Amino acid sequence: MASVNFNLSSLRARRFKGYLQFQDPDNTSNYLRLKERQTMNISLSFGRDSHYDDQGQKVLDPSGYTHQFSVGLKTTADLFDTAFTWNGFGGSNTPPTDKSSISYWVYKNQNYEPVELVFITTMETVASAGTSKYLHLKFTCDVNSFTPVTLAGATSETDISGEILKIEAVKRSASATTLSG
């Protein structure tokens, strides 16, 4: 599957929608779309260490950041590969072949290989006359936790979580179709 610019006007709706893409490990400029997102939670935490300067004033120095995300998807059969089996006790392993499946990304994590997910969304907000009314968010994330199947009533869900590596856009604009507008 070729990479797709999800900012195209034909792929944007006027309601909040987010998309998940995994980076293709064989072609790092190519992204594989997984699924339309169902829920997305983002937590940004900027750490600061406090100390006192020579005048006795409290000073806060940056000490790094830990940004977390979690995504909940409705579990459907197309999220999983048909080939993946793993025998952790020395038997034969069959790696998944569908790179856009959760099976493939579970397998990659199991082998301690990085998995990159890109979350991108635009949402329309209420705005005063003459102000920008679209919010654009784009995050690059490292996936390190899966719950492949959780039964929640009549439907099942898959949860994916990890750390946000890069915040690429958190901005407003007058355009619904571009991050740069």
Angle (CA) 58-65-139 rounded to 5° is 140
pTM: 0.67
CATH T-level assignment (fold) for domain 9-173: Elongation Factor Tu (Ef-tu); domain 3 (2.40.30)
pLDDT in tens, 11-20: 444 444 556 6
Which has the higher per-residue pLDDT, 153 or 143? 143
Q: What is the pLDDT of residues 54-103, one digit of tens each?
A: 999 999 998 888 999 998 888 777 778 888 877 666 556 788 888 778 88
Q: Is there a contact between 52 and 81 (Cβ–Cβ < 8 Å)?
A: no
Domain parsing of the chain, residue ranges:
9-173
Give the whole-angstrom CA distance, residue 171 versus residue 85.
43
